[in-house]
A and B are shown apart, each in its own frame.
Chain A
Amino acid sequence: MRTLFLLLALLPSIAGATMAADVAGMDTSQEARYRTLIHELRCLVCQNQNIADSDAPLANDLRHQVRRQILAGESNQEIMDYLTQRYGDFVLYNPPFKMITLLLWLGPAVLVLLALVMAYLFTRRTRKPSTATALDEEKLRKLLDENK
C-alpha cells in the first residue's frame, strides 16, 4: 500500500520529466505551440484521449512527429494538414466545418431551436382557456343585463 502511494506521488514528476525531454531544443514559442498541438490532436487508438494524455505507442509516435515538424520550422497548419492527410479529420479534436461534419456542427443548434419552437407552441396552447373564460364572462354579463 505504501509503495502504491509512493508511486502515485511520483507520477506527476515522471510526467513532467517526459515532457521536459519532449520539448528539449525548442524555444519558448515552439514549446507553447507543441503543447497546444498535442492537446488538440486525438490519439486514434484510445479515441477519447488526446496525444498529450495518451500513453499508447501511436500517441508517442505522433508526438515525436509533431516535435520533428516544429523543429523543422513548419507551421501549425502544415502539421495539422500532414496528419489529416494520413488519418483524416478524426485526428483533430476541432474538426473543420464541411458537408460531412454538418450534422456534428449544426445538430445541437437545430435541436435547441426545435425545443424552443415546441416550447412556444405548447405554452401558447395552454393560454387558450383564459380567453375562453373571458368570453364566457361577457356572455354572462349580457344574460344578466337581459334579465334585469
Chain B
Amino acid sequence: MTAMGTPQNNNWAKALMSHLRRDFWSALPAYIGGLVVLFWIVVALTAPLWAPYSPLDMVGARLQPPSADHYFGTDGLGRDVLSRTLYGAAQSLPIAVVVVVVGATVGAVLGAAAGFLGGWTNTIVMRLVDVTLSFPPMLLAMAVAVALGPGLKTAAVAMIIVWWPLYARLMQSQVISVKQMDHVEAAVSSGVRRFRILWRYILPLSWTPILINATMDFGQVVLLAAALSFIGLGAAPPTPEWGQMISEGAVNFYTWWIAAAPGLAILSVVLALNFIGDRVRDVLDPRSTT
C-alpha cells in the first residue's frame, strides 16, 4: 500500500487496511476461494502455455500410472491426463457461468414480473415454475438434452431450463414481501409512477438473495454439467471436459488416476465457490450476521 498521493487516497487505503485487519479471519476462506477461482480462470485462458502435452494426441503408453513424465498418468488412449484436465477448464467453467448468469437473469425477471403484476402473470409464471420443479432436475435436464441433441451448448440450454424456476420462485416471494412494506405504500400514496416503484423501491431490496443463491449454485451447476457429460449428453468424446473424463475413468477401478485429476479439479472449484458464496451471504444478508 503506497497510495500516499492525495489525502483522499490515503484515507481510502487506511479504510481498506483497517477493514482487512478487522474482518480478515472471517473473510479468509473467501480469499482462498477467490485465489482458487482466479487460478482456474487463468488456466482456462492460458492452458496451451502450461500443459506439458497436447490434450488430444497419444503421447505415451496406454493406462500408465502417475510418473515423472506424466504427473497424473495417461488414459485409455495414451493421452496425458494432466494436460486434458488443464484444457478441460476452458470447457467446464464457461458453461457454469453462462448457466448461472442466464438462469438467474431469466428467473429474476419473470419472478419479479409475477410478484409485482400479480393476477394472470403471476398464475402463469408460477404454474410454469411448479411444473418444472416437479420433475427430478437430472431427468428433466437429460430429457431436454436428448431432445436437442448432445453437445455442450444444448447441455447449457437444458441446465438453464432446469435452473431458472428456482430463481423465479425466490424473486417472486421476495418482491411480494417488499411490495407490502410501508415505504412502498408511502411511495404509491405520494404519487410515484408504477414502473419507478418497481425499479427504485422494490428491486433494490429484493435482488440480494438472488445474488447469494447464484454464487452458491455455481458449484452445483459445475457438478450437473459434469454429470450430463458423464452420461454422454455434454461434451462430445474427444473434447477434454471434466465430467466426460471422469466417466472414462470410471470404467476401470484399477486405473484410478484417470478420474482423480478432473475429480480434484471439480472439488476445488465447487469448494472455492461455496466459500465465496458463504461470504457474499454474510456480507449482504444482515439477518445471518452474528
B is a partner of A? no
